[in-house]
Structures are given as structure tokens and as C-alpha cells.
A and B are shown apart, each in its own frame.
Chain A
Amino acid sequence: MSPSGAEFIRQIKSQIAEVDPAEVHAALSGAGNGNGGVTIVDVRESDEIAQGHLPGAKLVPRGFLESRIDGAVPDRSSHVVLYCASGNRSALAAKTLADLGYEHVESMTGGITLWKDRGYKVEVPRKLTSEQRERYSRHMLVPEIGPEGQQKLLDAKVLLLGAGGLGSPTALYLAAAGVGTIGVVDDDVVDLSNLQRQVIHTTDRIGVPKVDSAQITMNALNPDVNVVKYQTRIDASNIMEIIEGYDVIVDGVDNFPTRYLLNDASVRLKIPVVSASILGFDGQLSVFAPYEGPCYRCLYPVPPPAELAPSCGANGVLGVLPGTMGLLQATEVVKLVVGAGEPLIGRLLLYEALGATFTELKVRRDPECAICSREPDAISDAEMGVFPDYEAFCAAAG
């Protein structure tokens, strides 16, 4: 005779390991940031999870267990604790994971109900609206992002320096991705010659400040985004005030003095910079994470002389190129915000469009770097953006 449902669950429970909430709580409490090597997985449905879940739990509803567990827990030898409301569904899920080859799986007895009865803390996820769930549904399906990552994007503050060639595609895609606050710094107005590559602007906005034009396009694409406009040229007198409080800065500026100034200020405030530059058919990309990896001055301690730095005036560039490089920047921003993958720290990516080649170079921290070899507090206002021929640089380049 086939067993009843209750009997079936009893049989399954005899085949799997169970763990008391007290042990799980002890493991999480003593774990610091790493959860003590334990991965907690909530196998309940999304409407139950919305009422609260264990701190740091990964959310994999049992109905999606087989299809999504590889993304949530790639290492089959890791210690996994599953839970549900009362301990039955998690027991069934534990059996499934054991069948899938997971070696150290436990089901938490009593589920989150017993956990709460013991007075242990739960995290209540902030809810996305139904429109947000629909808008970002393709992010929700990516294990590296999911609802938690989307919430991080919505909470993130990203500053774009420049709403030009690089800033245009970056702004479009970061707005589309739901980055909650996007600052845009640019003192320029839209010019007809910009439109070959600066795709956030439009022909009917020629003469309009770029920050205004960028805001119109970003909010038309995604009204969730709070666009903060800075219609100014960034300089030593205003940079600290503008960049402070941002989580990530996207460097798309068109001149060396500002790149060095940005580097020095961002090191002082420990804000990572996703940096790209373009010329002709060539692009460069790197992430400068202060004190974690090298800074811009570690890579380029001294700027080139003006005649070798065609960056100040009008220079030729393939219109598509800033699209390619700007979207690589946007990708690095999303990775930094959600904490996914390996950011391009300590590496310089070169793209050569004519040959269709990518080259990756190593970038080391310079132990004698004029800026990042010292503590942030030791970098004075007077030293920031110190740059040979600061005023004359672009004048000399003509």
C-alpha cells in the first residue's frame, strides 16, 4: 500500500539530516560576514518569504529547486541548511539536494516558525511594487542579481562624470537597470556634432544642457530613477562636495586634469571608480578600487605631454566605440553594486575596434604611488589634482 503524505514525509525525514534552530543561530551569530561557512536556503514561496526570512538566506522556492540551486549554491561540498515554514518542505528539498549530489545538507526542524518562537531575528525584505517586479523580471531570474540584487540597484547611488560619449550609454543602461540615484555632472549643452555617438541626446534638444537632456531620456525610460543634475565643470573647489556619498563613480571625462583630480578625491573618499577612455578606434577600461587595487596614478603616474595627449580638443572617434566601452563600464557598475563576479580591479582591458581584439594587462599597486600609498587623511586639499601645467595643459594641446 502506498504511504500517506504524512508517512512519506516521515520516511524522508529518516533519510536526511536535521538541525535545530539553536545550532543554526549559533553558526550565524559567530560567523561574522561569512555565515560560518553555512549557506542558508529558504525554500518557501515568494509570498511567504516577503513576510520575513532568516538573515542572509538565499531564496530558492522548492518548485524551482532543481533549476536554480546550482546558481545559489554552486559548490556541492558546501554546508547547506534548508528551511521552510515548519520543516516538512525543507526535508523533502534536502532529499532532493542529496539526490543531486550535495554532500552536507540539513533541514532545520520547525522551520521559520520555531525560529521566530525562539525569538531569533528575521529580515523582512522590502517589497518591490508589482510594476517593479515586472520591469525587472529578467534580473529576478538571474541568480547573481535576483530580488536582493535588484533592491541593491534601487538603493545604489552612482555618479556619472560626463554625459557625453561614454556617459550616454552608461546612463541609459544604468537607468534601465533601476539604479535608484544617478548623478550626472556636465557643464556642456547638446551640440549637433555630439549626436554621432552621444545617444542619450536628441536632435530636438540641440542647445539644451546635457544634464537636462540626459534626465529627460533616463526618466522616460525609467521613472524610478532619481536623476541628480550638476550643471558644472568639476574642479578642485567642488569635487569633494559633489562625489561624497556616491557608491560608485563612472569616469567618462574628456581630459587628463579631471581624471587625475577625480582619482585623488576618490582615493581620499574610498569610492571606486569605473574608468574608461576612448580615442579613434581604441578603448581602455579598468576599475580603480581605492586601497583594494591600484589607482589611476599607479597605472599612469605622470600624464603624457600635451602633444601626445590628443584629448582636449575635437578628436576623431568611431561613434560606436563609446557605446562599447560605456556599456562595459555600466556592466562593471552593476557587478560592483550587486557584488557579483570579478570586477576589473588590477586589470586593464584594451579594445581595438579595427582589429576586433581585446587585450588584458595587469595593473599593480605602486608602493610608492604619490596618492594611494598613503592613508586618505594624509592627502591634503592642496595635493589633490596636482598636475603638471594644470592650467596650461589643454591650451598647449591646442
Chain B
Amino acid sequence: MAKVRIPPVLRSSTSGEKEVEAAGDNVGDVLRSLIDQHPDTQSQLFSGDGELNRYVNVYLNDEDVRVLGGLETAVTGDDIVMILPAMAGG
């Protein structure tokens, strides 16, 4: 199973967990598996029409999935899916 890294701003939706194991053959399935385990993450990751919210950056290992295959990007068990938040604190 892939590991999903949860940023601090989303941890209130994952009972404080920083990393969640999630099954799936591609990035979209992995994120839906995360939502199955932590339903509160749904509205923060996906818009009403099922698209990934534009302000959500998702990385597969060190590459942005936007330059890979988006939600269809294949995932293997060793991969790390990272949800990257924009932060503005200074």
C-alpha cells in the first residue's frame, strides 16, 4: 500500500495522523481510499464535481502529478503520495 503524507492543515481531518496507508493502483484511487478512511478529507481534496481542487498540490514521490498522469498516474506499494499545502506564514 502507498503511504499518503498529510499536511498539518489537514490533520484535523485524519485524527492527527501524519501518514496514512492507502490502497489503490493510481493516485485517484489512493486518495479515494484515504477519503474512505477519513471522510472529512473529501471536501478539502475534491470539488463537488469530483475534480481535484485546483489549490491542492499532489505529489507522487518528488514529482507533481500534474506533470505526470494526474489522478490516473500509476502508484506502486513503495510510493509516497504527498498532499502539499501552500503556506504563507512568515
- Chain A positions within 8 Å of B, measured between CB atoms, are 162, 164-167, 251-256, 259, 276-282, 284, 299-305, 308-311, 315, 317, 322, 348, 350, 355, 359-364
A304 and B89 CA atoms in complex are apart in Å by 13
* Complex interface: stretch among B20-28, B29-37, B58-66, B70-78: B58-66
Residue of B with least CB distance to A305: B55
A251 and B88 CA atoms in complex are apart in Å by 10
B residues near A279, Cβ cutoff 8 Å: 8-9, 87, 89
B59 near A278: Cβ-Cβ < 8 Å? no
Q: Name the contact of A300 in the complex, choosing from B57, B67, B82 (C-beta under 8 A).
A: B57
A164 and B7 CA atoms in complex are apart in Å by 24
B residues near A311, Cβ cutoff 8 Å: 87-89
A259 near B8: Cβ-Cβ < 8 Å? no
Tell me, yes or no, whether B69 is within 8 Å of chain A by CB: no
> Chain A's nearest CB lies how many Å from the CB of B62?
5
B54 near A253: Cβ-Cβ < 8 Å? no
5 contacts between A and B (CB under 8 A): A166-B90, A256-B88, A277-B90, A308-B9, A361-B64
A360 and B62 CA atoms in complex are apart in Å by 7
B residues near A300, Cβ cutoff 8 Å: 55, 57, 86
Q: Name the contact of B87 in the complex, choosing from A277, A301, A305 (C-beta under 8 A).
A: A277
Residue of A with least CB distance to B7: A282
A residues near B10, Cβ cutoff 8 Å: 308
B90 near A309: Cβ-Cβ < 8 Å? no
A151 and B38 CA atoms in complex are apart in Å by 56
B86 near A309: Cβ-Cβ < 8 Å? yes
B86 near A304: Cβ-Cβ < 8 Å? yes
B8 near A282: Cβ-Cβ < 8 Å? yes
Tell me, yes or no, whether B85 is within 8 Å of chain A by CB: yes
Contacts A300-B57, A305-B55 given; indicate if A278 touches B87 (C-beta within 8 A): yes
B residues near A360, Cβ cutoff 8 Å: 62
B residues near A256, Cβ cutoff 8 Å: 86, 88
B55 near A253: Cβ-Cβ < 8 Å? no
Residue of B with least CB distance to A311: B88
A residues near B67, Cβ cutoff 8 Å: 364
A254 near B54: Cβ-Cβ < 8 Å? no
B85 near A304: Cβ-Cβ < 8 Å? yes
Tell me, yes or no, whether B84 is within 8 Å of chain A by CB: yes
A304 and B54 CA atoms in complex are apart in Å by 8
A284 and B21 CA atoms in complex are apart in Å by 24
A335 and B66 CA atoms in complex are apart in Å by 30
A139 and B60 CA atoms in complex are apart in Å by 40
A residues near B86, Cβ cutoff 8 Å: 256, 277, 299-300, 303-304, 309
A residues near B82, Cβ cutoff 8 Å: 359, 361
Interface hub of B56, B64, B84, B87 (most chain A Cβ within 10 A): B87
B64 near A309: Cβ-Cβ < 8 Å? no
Residue of B with least CB distance to A281: B8
> Chain A's nearest CB lies how many Å from the CB of B67?
5
> Chain A's nearest CB lies how many Å from the CB of B58?
11
B55 near A362: Cβ-Cβ < 8 Å? no
